[in-house]
Amino acid sequence: MLIVIQCKDQVGLVAAISRVVAEEGLNIVSLREHVDPAESRFFIRVEVDRDVPEELLEARLRPLLPPDAVVSVNPHTEKKIIVLVTKEYHCLSDILVRHHFKTLGASVQHVIGNYPILGDICRRFEVPFTHISHEGSEKELFEQKTLDVLLQHQPDHIVLAKFMRILSPAFVSAFPGRIINIHHSFLPAFVGANPYRQAFERGVKLIGATAHFVTDQLDEGPIIAQQIIPVTHSFTVADMIKAGKEIETAVLARALRLVFEDRVLMYKNKTVVFE
Amino acid sequence: MLIVIQCKDQVGLVAAISRVVAEEGLNIVSLREHVDPAESRFFIRVEVDRDVPEELLEARLRPLLPPDAVVSVNPHTEKKIIVLVTKEYHCLSDILVRHHFKTLGASVQHVIGNYPILGDICRRFEVPFTHISHEGSEKELFEQKTLDVLLQHQPDHIVLAKFMRILSPAFVSAFPGRIINIHHSFLPAFVGANPYRQAFERGVKLIGATAHFVTDQLDEGPIIAQQIIPVTHSFTVADMIKAGKEIETAVLARALRLVFEDRVLMYKNKTVVFE
Amino acid sequence: MLIVIQCKDQVGLVAAISRVVAEEGLNIVSLREHVDPAESRFFIRVEVDRDVPEELLEARLRPLLPPDAVVSVNPHTEKKIIVLVTKEYHCLSDILVRHHFKTLGASVQHVIGNYPILGDICRRFEVPFTHISHEGSEKELFEQKTLDVLLQHQPDHIVLAKFMRILSPAFVSAFPGRIINIHHSFLPAFVGANPYRQAFERGVKLIGATAHFVTDQLDEGPIIAQQIIPVTHSFTVADMIKAGKEIETAVLARALRLVFEDRVLMYKNKTVVFE
Amino acid sequence: MLIVIQCKDQVGLVAAISRVVAEEGLNIVSLREHVDPAESRFFIRVEVDRDVPEELLEARLRPLLPPDAVVSVNPHTEKKIIVLVTKEYHCLSDILVRHHFKTLGASVQHVIGNYPILGDICRRFEVPFTHISHEGSEKELFEQKTLDVLLQHQPDHIVLAKFMRILSPAFVSAFPGRIINIHHSFLPAFVGANPYRQAFERGVKLIGATAHFVTDQLDEGPIIAQQIIPVTHSFTVADMIKAGKEIETAVLARALRLVFEDRVLMYKNKTVVFE
């Protein structure tokens, strides 16, 4: 089973937590710990070799931890997700294939597209798809309809798999730390629209992609994973977009794996990733 | 020998150039060509297996090319460079070691430091070092003294090997396309001061370095080479600086090799790199 | 249009080829040339901006080239492929998704599996699937049935997308330079079976994947593309297999793109890749 | 201070160790733990924020651990090393520069070369150099003279920085787990002599380097670090050697940093690297 905790740092936290684990006769398979000295913040992720009742373990741990502790015992059951898309297929298809073969570490409950085009690929994998147009309707209405689907399914995470609309702060704040976006640049370079065009104009020799949690600041949320690929003078904008799709798919897949395995802890504007 | 040309694009350039080469009985060892369609600009780099008189070859090529052609026949004799430094040793030492063992592809004529501290390592390699302080004196005076050294040596290139002062537009424009800088971020992310501090605050998962030609726009010059390394939540700013030095050294070494082998052609704000 | 040639090297080949191109009024968009001095072998790939009749161009080029020249004018029509698989879905699914969205650069005519399990995913994409069991039957019979499908479709290439049987020399020699395999190690490390097990036992810090043309020597064919990912002491064999699937998929996708864009020229046991 | 332990695994080890640490009022800055389930082996590295007497801490820890425990409290004082070289300068120069600027994390006591050529660069950094020829003398005699220097200095580690002779099993076994070698391939590919020649013949698209502990099996010792760089068809053997030097230098530097910071634990033929 898995124990994930973050709280204010103090002396003796590892000793206290590991003593409880040992007294339950559990053997530690993997333990990752981090202290952020600037924030005086403690993070730990412990995998043990057997299961004991979750409530029991949590009840034993709580009194030993600071009152602000966020304790998560055995969260690593399969996650439920909703995916938001626009027109590009590459990230969504990758998610659907893994979902289909049960290697995603999460179950795709529903896909919402602001265009109808990706409904077909969803149907091929028997995943429900709803087209909610953003055209002609107020953004508020679009978000309300999306919320209706979300509230119906209560997903653990919302994945923006190349969803090209900006969500309102009100929407975002309803799902703190639960919306994951893939941005097609190595942030903070090239925030906003057309990052490949910006990269082309600047003549960079690397392009990248960034998976991050969404906050109400555009492209400013805590970064989960980033990667780059080299480009040369011979790349047109179209070549960069094409090459970029490969890395967008890979980075989002990696970020989702990390989140679904409860390896990502968020605090303020940063993540701790216990890989 | 080596032929490097850039000019306005037109039909038949490769045919014209390669016919001259063939008529001289030269065999092409390596040919790299690029056309920038947006700029209608032609770039070529041809290595052939023997030498013929340079003037002859250039005289035969010129009439076949547009009037704006920049023709460089056999530029690949050893370059001469001046290195500007501040206090950090890593890039300079790497350059000095390669210079000493004659694998730099260039000869270091002189090193100028705005602090005296790196004079010692230069003396160990018998490379002249001049300390020109920027303190207490006007930047203009500092640059004038530096110019005096430069004019005395007539270097092919000026290398800013972690030189932490900003050169004036007047100075920079005196050496167009000949000043090479190493910036400690993957530009255009984190321009300006303290990029590692900026990277730390943003919580990025990659840090990088960029070697570029210097123009009068700070950190905006044509990029020659870039590379990144992964970082994690456990990296302090000091850890990033330490890890960054490794990649700064590597990227600058790579950029210098490319420039010294005449593989980098500059046009407007971009480079063509025939690697 | 595209011109790809390989032949014995001699002086004037680039001049001769580019003269024909210029005389046809074609502008060269991209030209990549390589001479292998050890083999005295010439390779060239030229992209021009317009189409002219292929036979005409080939007829004009032939007399200027050595008799052994392999000339391919405008081969870059969409390729046709047959995919052979066993049980693993990751490479096949990636190919099917790209095929479905018409970004593969090839059309999947048929998939053959020596197990029936991957038939389902093929049906979802309306790609014909044939199960040809290797069990209980002689390998010869298995290969004969596979040949029947191949002869019926006349594919340009046969892709072994994690096909875990060894094909006979007779079969392989019927498709010289046309069978592409993905091997789950960075060859020549860990040839043969269970490379991840071998990698685990050796305690390597990198695992990789290799896409190569198949010859009658197991895992010895010309390499098209390779890539690696870092692993740590914490990786079990199962973790390596899981992480490896990501890179197998990526390397095969890259190799197929290169082959389908006619960027890969094969000579003896090596490839020239004009990327 | 730093605590590094490896021993047979059993329930409660983390609890026991962290309790001692907490009772001493020490705050854990960083804790990395690994259990090898196949070997039932426990590894831990704990950094705490203050120093207490080492003997005291070790005396308190010992009784809580299995009898086979290897306990190292505060080993992270500056290491002493002897470097063995042949003719190539790149790895040695990198080590000497870091030594000179006190960023190596170790002090170079002596350099031994089986050729005299690298004596000059050592003298420039005031590091003693001894030339011990292997020619005309028996290997046994060569090793005896080398041993004399080693016994005089009692180094923590012996670094083979492109030392191109094979040491005898007797010599190696005198320094178990203390000799570090850089091999110029991504092991286990291309063991033995001329790996770049082998890589060239095979037509690989990646070349690499491996830093490993030396055992009496040639190129078979526990791997500390590996890395690769891409190569293309245009690389000659000489080009590979040149490009390879860059990565050899980088990989050895990385491995030495890891070893000198006590981040590498060895068990049987593998390493645990707490980075």
CB pairs under 8 A between C and D: 81
Mean pLDDT of chain D: 94
Q: Which of A186, A205, A224 sits opposite B223 (nearest CB)?
A: A205
Cβ pair B228:A228 closer than 8 A: yes
Minimum mean pLDDT range among A149-163, D179-193, D232-246: D179-193
CATH superfamily of B2-73: ACT domain (3.30.70.260)
Cβ pair C226:D205 closer than 8 A: yes
The first and second tokens of residue D9, run together, are 């695994």
Q: From chain D, pick out residues whose CB is under 8 angstroms from the CB of C183.
A: none
If you write DSSP's letter for every residue of D29-96 in order, what string do you get?
A: EEEEEEEETTTTEEEEEEEESS---HHHHHHHHGGGS-TT-EEEES--SPEEEEEEE-S--HHHHHHH
Q: State if pTM tops 0.90.
A: yes
Which chain C residue's Cα is nearest to B37?
C29
Surface-to-core class of residue A86, CB atoms within 10 Å of its CB (0-12 exposed, 13-18 middle, 19+ buried): middle
For residue D156, give the nearest of D262, D53, D268, D4 by alpha carbon. Answer: D262
List, in sequence order, every residue forming a beta bridge with A48; answer none if it has no partner.
A28
Which chain D residue's Cα is nearest to A19?
D15
Residue D76's pLDDT band (cuts 50, 70, 90): low
3-state helix, strand, coil in chain D (%, to 5): 35, 30, 40
The first and second tokens of residue D60, run together, are 């308190």
Q: Do domains B2-73 and B79-273 have the same CATH topology?
A: no
Burial letters B250-270, b for 16+ CB under 10 A, else e: bbbbbbbbbbbbbbbbbbebb
Chain centroid to CA D88: 19
- Percent of the residues in chain C that have a pLDDT greater than 90, as a whole number: 87
Q: From chain C, pick out residues whose CB is under 8 angstroms from the CB of D226.
A: 204-206
Other chains touching A, judged by 3 or more CB pairs under 8 Å: B, C, D
H helices present in chain B, as ranges:
13-23, 54-61, 90-100, 119-124, 139-153, 169-173, 195-202, 237-260
The first and second tokens of residue B249, run together, are 């050294």
* C12-43 per-position pLDDT tens digit: 999 999 999 999 999 998 899 999 988 999 99
Q: Report pLDDT for D136.
A: 78
- The bridge status of strand D206-213 relative to strand B41-48 is unpaired
Q: From chain B, pick out residues whose CB is under 8 angstroms from the CB of A208.
A: 206
Domain boundaries, chain C: 2-73, 79-273
Q: Report pLDDT for C29.
A: 87
Q: Report pLDDT for A136.
A: 78
Q: Are B232 and A271 in contact (CB under 8 A)?
A: no
CB pairs under 8 A between A and C: 24
Q: Report pLDDT for D139.
A: 80
CATH number of this structure's domain C79-273, picked from the four choices 3.20.20.70, 3.30.420.40, 3.40.50.170, 3.40.50.300: 3.40.50.170
Cβ pair C31:B33 closer than 8 A: yes
Cβ pair B222:A232 closer than 8 A: no
CA atoms of D238 and D200, how far apart (whole Å): 10
Give catalytic residue positions of B.
Answer: 219
Q: Which of C190, C205, C269 sits opposite D203 (nearest CB)?
A: C269
Report the gap between the CA of B153 and the closest CA in chain D (Å).
26
Half-sphere exposure of D207 (CA within 13 A, CB side): 30
Confidence check: pLDDT of A76 > 80: no
Confidence check: pLDDT of A95 > 80: yes
Give catalytic residue positions of D.
Answer: 219
For residue D125, give the nearest of D143, D110, D114, D105 by alpha carbon. Answer: D110
Q: What is the mean pLDDT of residues D148-153?
A: 94
* B192-228 per-position pLDDT tens digit: 788 999 999 999 999 999 999 999 887 889 999 999 9
Q: Report pLDDT for B74.
A: 82
Q: From chain D, pick out residues whose CB is under 8 angstroms from the CB of A16.
A: 22
Q: Are D99 and D107 in contact (CB under 8 A)?
A: yes
Tell me the residues of B at the C interface, defined by beta carbons under 8 Å apart: 9-16, 18-19, 21-23, 25-35, 37
Q: What is the mean pLDDT of residues A228-253?
A: 96
Tell me the residues of D at the B interface, defined by beta carbons under 8 Å apart: 30, 89, 93-94, 97, 100-101, 121, 124-125, 234, 246, 250, 253
Confidence check: pLDDT of B159 > 80: yes
Q: Which of A11, A25, A28 sits opposite D14 (nearest CB)?
A: A28
Cβ pair A204:B187 closer than 8 A: yes
Determine the 3-state secondary structure of A17 from DSSP. helix
Q: What is the mean pLDDT of residues B143-164?
A: 95
Confidence check: pLDDT of C76 > 70: no
Q: Are D11 and A22 in contact (CB under 8 A)?
A: yes
Mean pLDDT of chain C: 94
* D108-138 per-position pLDDT tens digit: 999 999 999 999 999 999 999 999 998 877 7
Give catalytic residue positions of C.
Answer: 219
Cβ pair A270:B233 closer than 8 A: yes
Report the gap between the CA of D64 and the closest CA in chain A (Å).
13
Q: Which of D36, D190, D226 sits opposite C205 (nearest CB)?
A: D226
Q: From chain D, pick out residues whose CB is under 8 angstroms from the CB of B241.
A: none
Report the gap between the CA of A49 and the closest CA in chain D (Å).
10
Q: Report pLDDT for D220.
A: 86
Rg of chain D's alpha carbons, rounded to an integer? 20
Q: Report pLDDT for B76.
A: 59
Cβ pair D271:C232 closer than 8 A: no
* C215-267 per-position pLDDT tens digit: 988 788 999 999 999 999 999 999 999 999 999 999 999 999 999 999 999 99
Q: What is the mean pLDDT of residues D75-103?
A: 94
